Chain A
Amino acid sequence: MGAGGDMLGISVSGVQAAQRALGTTGHNIANANTEGYSRQKVNMEARPPTTRGRGGIGNGVVVNDVSRVYDDFLTGQVRSITSLSASMDFNHDYTTQVDNMLADTKAGLAPSMQDFFGSVNGVANNPSSTSSRQVMLGAARSLIDRFQYLDERFDVIRIAANKNMKTLAVEINELASSIAAMNHRIITASEIGGEPPNDLQDQRDQLLKELSERVGIRVTYQSDGTMNVYIGNGQLLVVGQRASKIAIEGTPADPQQMDIIFQGPDSKSIISRFVSGGKLGGLIDFQKTVLDRSQNELGLIAIGISKAFNDQHKLGMDIHSALGGSFFTETEKLSPQVLPNMDNEGNAIISAKITNIDNLSASEYKLSYFQGDYRLIRRDDDKLIGEFSSFPAEFESEGFSLHLDRGAMANLDSLIIRPTRLGAKRIDVKVDDVNKIAAASPVRVEASIDNLGTGKIIMGDVLDTNTPSFALKKGAMTPPFAIRFLDENHFELLDNTGMPIPITRLALPEESKLLQHKDGRELYEHEAENGDDEADPPVVETAIFYDRVNGISIFPTPDGNEPGFRVSLVGEPVKGDTFRVEYNEDGTTDNQNIIALSRLQDKPILANGTSSFSDVYADLITRIGTKTHELEINKKAQKLLLNQVVAKRESVSGVNMDEEAANLVRYQKLFQANAQIIAVSQKMLDVLMASFR
């Protein structure tokens, strides 16, 4: 406009600048509550002066540009902390669900376990009462229901989490393409306007923030004003104006477990292990550290109860005088989950069997094969458990064994073994008739009423009912042993025909030799003749030594015959005294076995004999509780941190209404003053014009 020092021109530039500034102030006020908005500032500059001689004459003001007040570092911090905070938040939400579910005094496992063992005690009080047996069966079913309910809740949570992962992937893909589109608009806007596209940049920052809320990202700026977004371990989700996608798919190893797959322009890669942060990261962490482990532990408790209870139950006798059967589903039916990788090329069918519950843990394992070599790795800590070359293979320390049912594994084939995952799902009550609860001991001992001595026979533990003693027919024992005293220090075991059972010993024990000399009796049919003590031929005898001071335990017999139970004799029997050990036919109001069952409640059975069922459950609750607590604290800390960073960013970029009000006044004054100058110059012009008139 005109030449330098042009008053009108200068004032018009001032008016224009004021207008621009007022506009910007208005824009700031309008966007005061817009999320991610950075306040804008008009940058004014004096126009280049018209140089004349030794000085210059000002030419007014020019609006250089409108810039946003923005700190790149703070925005990045907001983004990354948002990511962490969202991760914790989401993880916490899910973990809390598990936490509340397990510890619920009504829905948790502990109350039904206590009820169940209470009902077992009820049967111990009245072993033949149908009603107390019914209560026990009912309580057993409630316990199973609780196991299955909890297991189902885990499944429901897993399904929800998987679904959520898929939803998140869709959102992430949408955000990625929006960011790519925004990159495009920013380039275009910059090319056309030449001025920085502030609002678009703000919007893109906002999109990035939303993206980071869903998944951890890294961001780099390009010289053309675009931004690249990385996820995982460096996969480019957004490059300039182009976006890639991620997808959630069931893993080949386990369709229930989700993999995050990055679908680049020319390649696919699995990035599950590298994704962290954001809701997606939170979910992955939740599944790995809380969900899978807890479900495995619940299964471990179920397997422990069914195994321990069944084992003891089978040592008992029911109301029809038959040996006890399975009370809960047999452990074989609660078999470990074995999942072959879907990419396997071999046709091997492999199964796993639980071998001992003391060592069984809630861990998961991976079996892989390469050139004749099988390797079993514990996934929790990546520890190599075993290397072997043929099946079956037993892993004593882990409590299970592996069997090749048919087919063969091919190179690089692998499978996942979860010994306890299905425990809580599959456990069930197998006893359907209250009369089949094996409350009684299957063995009865009796001293003959005709005995003259004071000898007492005492029933010990029943250890195994799968011995020949119980084999012949249900409800009878072969032989029903009788014990007959030959003299005060010796007795014979008689079988059911009344014949003494010969005891065969490979070598003569020293003490027996001595005894023989002491009382001079010819107890042994044979004496070593060849004088070579080392090669004593087998000795057959029927008399067994009785210790009158300490009593003795009769079984196993000196030659190792194991009837599967323990019986002891004490006191001072005399010659001719007899004792009987027989099947407890009709002993239906006996409660020895149900007492043994009730003792399982506080018996340390699991974890190498260190933990009872309720201990393991308490551990589970504590672990989840601690995890939730930890997440809660971290979540709060992150939130606080986030608030601080947001406050910092706001303090730089946020709109302050008072400031804007002040600016309004300031720019209005600027406008007014400049307008006054126009008025003055108009007046001056008028004066000039009038002087010509």
Chain B
Amino acid sequence: MRVSTNQIQMGAINAMLDQQEGLARVQQQVATGKRVITPADDPVAIAQVVNLQDSLRRTEQFQRNIDNAVGRLTLEEGVLEGVTQILQRVRELAVYANNATQTNDTRSYIAEEITQLGDELLGQANTMDSDGEFLFAGSKGRFKPFSKDDKGNFLYYGDDTQRFVRVGPRRQIAINDTGTEVFRKIREGNGTFIVTESLNNQGSGVLDQGSSKGHYDFGTYALIMDQKDNLNPNEPLTYRVINDKGKEIVPSTIFSEGNAITFEGVQMFILGEPEPGDYFIIRPSQHQDVFTTLQKLVVALKDSRNTAADHAFLHNEVNRALASVDTAMGKVLDVRASIGTRLNALDSQKGINEAFGIQLKELISNIEDLDFGEAISRLNSRKVGLEASQKAFVKVQEISLFNHLY
């Protein structure tokens, strides 16, 4: 084919321009370290990268949420450890106070210490985090959850709403426990029912809180001590049980100290020597907050005790308080176990997120990052190509018939 001089030159120039364009592109790729620079380079890849980066950012956000949750739960766990220690000390003191060797004076010292422990406990229940948010106030974190009114009642200003944070695409974890759950939802007695004595009891009957046996129907019952002929001291002591409508549930039965008394799902024991006419009430366990429990204990310890009946009443009070403190400790331990479980879950979720994040980064890198080895070799070949086309241009320029004329 005939070739025009212009064409030869244009061809050579175009070749150089092409090589330069290619070189510039490789250069840009090497400089940025990216294979895909604009979406047009690889539209599908860019869309993938946009989505993957979205996932990556979300995963990183989950990690931040986890760090935040771990911080809060660790703080709560620390507080609850303190709460456990306080309750343990209260328990020791209560057992100690129950000892027959205690006098009214020594009991009042113990009461003093328990009062202080109670204040400390209240302080723990009103703990704030670094943002000034109360830990145990539910969703009313800006309000101090526990306080005592002038009548000595403990009031709760928080609510029962737990807060959750997202720690994975389909996983939420609670990062607090409400004051209700930790300090207020503590059932009196054995957790199902509670046995109390009449304030007018004359005997020294001491109660064991017993346990539920079979189906307890949440009824209220009275156990009444009796003696057929109360003038004859040899006449055996009997008891009968009636329900809240006056109906007799257990007919008159001879009482024997320490023997199990069983009826309607209730199993209880009476130690000591109740007097005829003494009576005991069995009712469903209600929730009682731990502060009230402590306060009741303090009141019981402070009163002077002189008669056998007084002492029986004291032992009953202390026993009930011990049962409640045990339940409270169990509750706190449950919550702590749950925190532990949540911390473990957060830890494993963090691992999962981390692995997912690495996977995402790898995917993104595979899609958009440059294979430097390959790119450098391309860079070299482009360079060689450009140099060659430049040389070719110069050489071709030299050749002209005009050089040989004349």
- B40 within 8 A of partner (CB): yes
Name the residue of chain B whose CB is nearest to the CB of A459.
Answer: B161
B164 touches A588 (CB 8 A): no
Query: Interface 1/0s, chain A 648-676, versus B by CB < 8 A?
Result: 00111111111101101100000000000
Contact A654 B7 (CB under 8 A): yes
Given known pairs A444-B161, A449-B180, the reply for A32 and B166 (CB within 8 Å) is no
Residues of A contacting B39 with CB < 8 Å? 99, 102-103, 621-622, 624-625, 628-629
Closest to B288 in A: A449
Tell me if A615 and B51 are in contact (CB < 8 A): yes
**Given known contacts A125-B65, A614-B50, A450 and B165 CB-to-CB distance under 8 angstroms:** no
The contact string, 1 if C-beta is below 8 Å from chain B, for chain A 578-606, is 00000010111111100100110110000
Chain B residues within an 8 Å CB radius of A39: 4
- Does B46 reach chain A (CB closer than 8 Å)? yes
* Contact (Cβ within 8 A) B400 A657: yes
- Chain B 368-405 interface 0/1 with A at a Cβ cutoff of 8 Å (1 = within): 00000000000000000000000000000000111001
- Select from chain A the residue with minimum beta-carbon distance to B45: A625
Contact B139 A590 (CB under 8 A): yes
The interface residues of chain A lying within 8 Å CB-to-CB of B401 are 657-658, 661-662
Q: Known: A96-B38, A589-B133, A619-B47. Is A655-B53 also a contact (CB below 8 A)?
A: no
A121-B166, A650-B6 known; A110-B54 Cβ under 8 A: yes
Q: With an 8 A cutoff between CB atoms, is B148 at the interface?
A: no
Bitwise, A610-651 to B at CB < 8 A (1) or not (0) is 000011011101111110110010000000000100110011
Are the CB atoms of B53 and A657 closer together than 8 Å?
A: no
Minimum C-beta distance from A352 to chain B (A): 31
Q: Closest CB-CB distance, B56 to chain A, in whole Å?
A: 9
B46 neighbours in A (Cβ, 8 Å): 103, 621-622, 625
Q: Which of B137-156 contact A (CB under 8 A)?
A: 137-143
Q: How many angstroms from the CA of A598 to the CA of B65 in the assembled complex?
A: 12
Instruction: Contact check, B65 vs A657: say whether CB atoms are below 8 A apart.
Output: no
A655–B10 CA distance with the chains assembled, in angstroms: 13
A100 at the interface (CB under 8 A from B): yes
B286 at the interface (CB under 8 A from A): yes
Q: Complex Cα distance A108/B401, Å?
A: 58
The answer to whether the Cβ of A608 comes within 8 Å of any Cβ in the partner chain is no
Is A124 a contact partner of B65 (Cβ separation < 8 A)? yes
Tell me the complex Cα distance, A664–B404, Å.
13
Indicate if B28 sits at the interface (CB-CB under 8 A): no
The verdict on B64 contacting chain A, using a C-beta distance below 8 Å, is: yes
Are A661 and B5 in contact (CB-based, < 8 A)?
no
Contact A589 B137 (CB under 8 A): yes
Interface residue B342 (Cβ < 8 Å from any Cβ of A): no
The A-contacting residues of B in range 155-199, CB under 8 angstroms, are: 159-161, 163-166, 169, 172, 180, 184-185
Q: State whether B7 touches A129 (Cβ < 8 A).
A: no
A629 to B161, CA, bound (A): 54
| Interface: A144 (CB within 8 A) | no
User: Is A114 a contact of B54 with CB atoms below 8 Å?
Assistant: yes
Residues of B contacting A624 in the complex (Cβ-Cβ under 8 angstroms): 39, 43
With contacts A590-B161, A618-B47, A665-B405 taken as known, whether A449 is within 8 angstroms of B184 at the C-beta atoms is yes
Query: Would you give the shortest CB distance from A546 to chain B, in whole angstroms?
Result: 17
Give A590 to B178 CA distance when docked, in angstroms: 12
Q: Is the CB of A589 within 8 A of B163?
A: yes
Interchain nearest-CB distance for B260 vs A (Å): 24
With a CB–CB cut-off of 8 A, which chain B residues contact A650?
3-4, 6-7, 10
A84 to B65, CA, bound (A): 55
Contact, CB under 8 Å: B218 / A656: no
Name which residue of chain A comes closest to B287, CB basis: A449
Q: Is the CB of A625 within 8 A of B6?
A: no
Measured CA separation A614–B185 after assembly (Å): 45
| Pick from A100, A574, A662: contact of B38, CB under 8 Å | A100
A238-250 Cβ-contact flags toward B at 8 Å (1 or 0): 0000000000000
Is B47's CB under 8 angstroms from A124's CB?
Answer: no
Contacts of B53 in A (CB 8 A): 110, 114
C-alpha gap A510/B361 in the complex (Å): 59
A20 to B92 CA separation, bound complex (whole angstroms): 131
What is the CB-to-nearest-CB distance from B245 to chain A, in angstroms, rounded to a whole number? 15
Hey, which chain B residues are within 8 Å of A124, CB to CB? 65, 165-166
B141 to A629, Cβ gap below 8 A? Answer: no
| Identity of the chain B residue whose Cβ is nearest the Cβ of A319 in the assembled complex | B142
Contacts of A651 in B (CB 8 A): 1-4, 7
The answer to whether B6 and A452 have CB atoms under 8 Å apart is no
B213 at the interface (CB under 8 A from A): no
A447 at the interface (CB under 8 A from B): yes
A437 interfacial contact with B, CB 8 Å: no
Contact A655 B4 (CB under 8 A): yes
Contact of B218 among A118, A574, A643 (CB under 8 A): A574
A128 B133 Cβ-Cβ under 8 A: yes
A629 touches B40 (CB 8 A): yes
CA distance A446 to B185 in the complex (A): 13
A440 in contact (CB, < 8 A): yes
Roughly how many angstroms separate A158 CA and B124 CA in the complex, as a whole number? 65
Q: A530 at interface (Cβ–Cβ under 8 A)? A: no
From A122, A449, A587, A662, B161 is in contact (CB under 8 Å) with A587
CA distance A126 to B69 in the complex (A): 10
Q: How far is the CB of B157 from chain A (nearest CB, A)?
A: 8
CA distance A623 to B43 in the complex (A): 8
Hey, what's the 0/1 contact readout for A420-449 against B, CB within 8 Å counting as 1?
000000000000000000001100111101
- Whether, in the assembled complex, A33 has its beta carbon less than 8 Å from a beta carbon of chain B, the answer is yes
Residues of B within 8 A of A452 (CB): 218, 284-286
Task: Please measure, in the bound complex, the distance between the C-alpha atom of A619 and the C-alpha atom of B65, giving whole angstroms.
Answer: 29
Determine if A587 and B159 form an interchain contact, defined as CB atoms under 8 angstroms apart: yes
Q: Determine how close the nearest CB of chain A comes to the CB of B125; give it in whole angstroms.
A: 15
Min CB gap A574→B, angstroms: 6
Q: A650-B3, A658-B5 are in contact. Are A621 and B159 (CB under 8 A)?
A: no
Q: Is A654 a contact partner of B5 (Cβ separation < 8 A)?
A: yes
Within the assembled complex, what's the spacing in Å between the Cα atoms of A103 and B139?
41
Task: Give the shortest distance, in Å, between B42 (CB) and chain A (any CB).
Answer: 8
Q: How far is the CB of A275 from chain B (nearest CB, A)?
A: 26
Most chain B Cβ neighbours within 10 Å, of A110, A657, A659, A665: A657
- Known pairs A621-B47, A657-B401; A614 contacts B65 (CB<8 A): no
CB-CB < 8 A to B106: which residues of A? none
Cβ of B172 to closest chain A Cβ, rounded Å: 8
Given contacts A586-B140, A589-B133, A615-B51, contact A661 B57 (CB under 8 A): no
| A450:B286 contact, CB within 8 angstroms | yes
Question: Which of A586, A643, A659 is in CB contact (< 8 Å) with B143?
Answer: A586
Residues of B25-47 whose CB lies within 8 A of A:
38-44, 46-47
Task: Tell me the B64-106 residues at the A interface (CB within 8 Å).
Answer: 64-65, 68-69
Contact indicator A655/B218 (Cβ below 8 Å): no
Task: Report yes or no: B163 in contact with A591, Cβ–Cβ below 8 A.
Answer: yes
A-B residue pairs in contact (CB < 8 Å), sample of 29: A32-B6, A99-B38, A110-B50, A117-B61, A122-B64, A127-B163, A441-B161, A451-B287, A584-B159, A587-B139, A587-B159, A588-B142, A590-B139, A590-B163, A591-B163, A595-B165, A598-B166, A614-B54, A617-B50, A621-B47, A622-B46, A622-B47, A625-B39, A625-B46, A628-B43, A629-B41, A657-B5, A657-B400, A662-B401
8 further interface pairs, Cβ-Cβ under 8 Å (given A122-B64, A619-B47, A655-B4):
A99-B38, A125-B165, A459-B161, A595-B166, A614-B50, A654-B5, A656-B5, A661-B401
Chain B interface residues toward A at CB < 8 A: 1-7, 10-11, 14, 38-44, 46-47, 50-51, 53-54, 57-58, 61, 64-65, 68-69, 131, 133, 137-143, 159-161, 163-166, 169, 172, 180, 184-185, 218, 284-287, 400-402, 405
7 nearest CB pairs, A to B = A654-B4, A625-B39, A589-B141, A625-B43, A590-B139, A628-B40, A587-B139
Query: Interface of A with B (CB < 8 Å)?
Result: 32-33, 39, 96, 99-100, 102-103, 110, 114, 117-118, 121-122, 124-129, 440-441, 444-447, 449-452, 459, 574-575, 584, 586-592, 595, 598-599, 601-602, 614-615, 617-619, 621-626, 628-629, 632, 643, 646-647, 650-659, 661-662, 664-665
